[in-house]
Amino acid sequence: MRKATLKDLPDIMMIVKQTIEEMHRYDNWQWDDAYPRDADFINDIDNGDLFVAERNGVVAGFICINRIEPAEYVGVPWSKDEITLVIHRMVVGENFRRQKVGSELVNYAEEIARQQQLAYLKTDTYSLNVNAQNIFEKCGYRLIGTMSFRGLGKPFYCYEKVLA
């Protein structure tokens, strides 16, 4: 795992393009041409919030980790009211699925939390994104509630984990 750089942007955007195509095949419109865009990832890189997992020098997946909670998190019945790390825009490239890259990304977020002396993480994913839900649940995240986001027709599932 390492911080992403602008040199990674073409690989990141290729993974995003493949992911959007896959999502749309099963009527998941969580991501589209409007979100996420390269500007989102450039901002993540500039802020030092985007990390990549590599396999043999190739970007296998990425994750944005920061303390920014979407406004939509207000009203979700989170179990704690404290500073948290939030996982955003996590993706595993289609050629690297079933190689534990997703778990590696989530575990890295937890490592970052510990380094920052935080014991609480939050994330969300569209209710149709079963792959992400499975990763979070395997990593011990608890479904805490739902929210609406970006005007999409189905809810987003909100997950949390309190670190030991």
pLDDT given at position 152: 76
Q: Of how many residues is the chain composed?
A: 164
Residue closest to 63 by CA, chosen among 35, 103, 31, 32:
103
Domain that holds residue 12: 2-162
pLDDT at 20 over 80: yes
Beta bridge partners of 11: none
pLDDT band at 29 (very low <50, low <70, confident <90, very high): confident
pLDDT digits (tens, 9 = 90+) for 48-101: 999 999 999 999 999 999 999 999 999 999 999 999 999 999 999 999 988 999
Q: What's the total number of domains in the chain?
A: 1
CATH number at residue 106: 3.40.630.30
What single string gives the DSSP state of each residue in 79-147? S--S--EEEEEEEE-GGGTTTTHHHHHHHHHHHHHHHTT--EEEEEEETT-HHHHHHHHHTT-EEEEEE
pLDDT digits (tens, 9 = 90+) for 96-154: 988 999 999 999 999 999 999 999 999 999 999 999 999 999 999 999 999 987 777 88
pLDDT given at position 1: 95
The more confident residue out of 123 and 33 is 123
pLDDT given at position 149: 77
